[in-house]
Amino acid sequence: MSDEVSVRRIGANEVMSYVEALTDVLIDCVEGGASVSFMLPLSREKALAFWRGVGEGVVRGERALLVAEDREERVLGTVQLILAQPENQPHRADVAKMLVHRRGRRKGIAHQLMTAAEQTARDEGKSVLVLDTVTGGDAERLYERAGWQRVGVVPKYALMPDGAFCGTTFYYKHV
């Protein structure tokens, strides 16, 4: 399937046209149990507002937004780079909201998204990337296979969408 999926950076001139599709991915991920800052039930309006805010950040040049689309141009996944950092960290970006719709999982899409995010970071002059993920989740294997270095775990750092505590593992990578 990953051969049938393309990953690309969404430009400021088109970002708002992706809000609906990205909302569908976010809601699916949260309903599937992903701890990505939102609790159940996640209303469509709340998810739309989130993506509109992301779009505004893309327009301002504060974020890079990448999407994975199938042959029918349906969005199956997304990842962001938060490019706007404090002035003493111009070389760093945060990887955020790595999401793959349940219908696209286990097909290499997350790996494609991360590879594209790393290239985008290099293109933007960023050499250090950081991210965090649910401790014990599938994403840990993905990041470690891709050469990310584990920094440590903070127990009870966040909540799962159902309200249960979860630990968070922090990673970095020099690109």
pLDDT in tens, 27-42: 999 999 999 999 999 9
- Percent above pLDDT 90 for the chain: 98
Compute the mean pLDDT over every residue in the chain, rounded to the nearest whole number. Answer: 97
DSSP string covering the chain: -GGG-EEEEPPTTTGGGGHHHHHHHHHHHHHTT--SS--SS--HHHHHHHHHHHHHHHHTTSEEEEEEE-TT--EEEEEEEE----TT-TTEEEEEEEEE-GGGTTSSHHHHHHHHHHHHHHHTT--EEEEEEETTSHHHHHHHHTTPEEEEEEEEEEE-TTS-EEEEEEEEEE-
**3: confidence class by pLDDT, cuts 50, 70, 90:** low
Mean pLDDT on 139-155: 97
pLDDT in tens, 113-129: 999 999 999 999 999 99
pTM: 0.96
pLDDT in tens, 84-98: 999 999 999 999 999
pLDDT at 1: 45
Instruction: Please give the domain boundaries of the chain with CATH numbers for all domains.
Output: 2-126 (3.40.630.30)
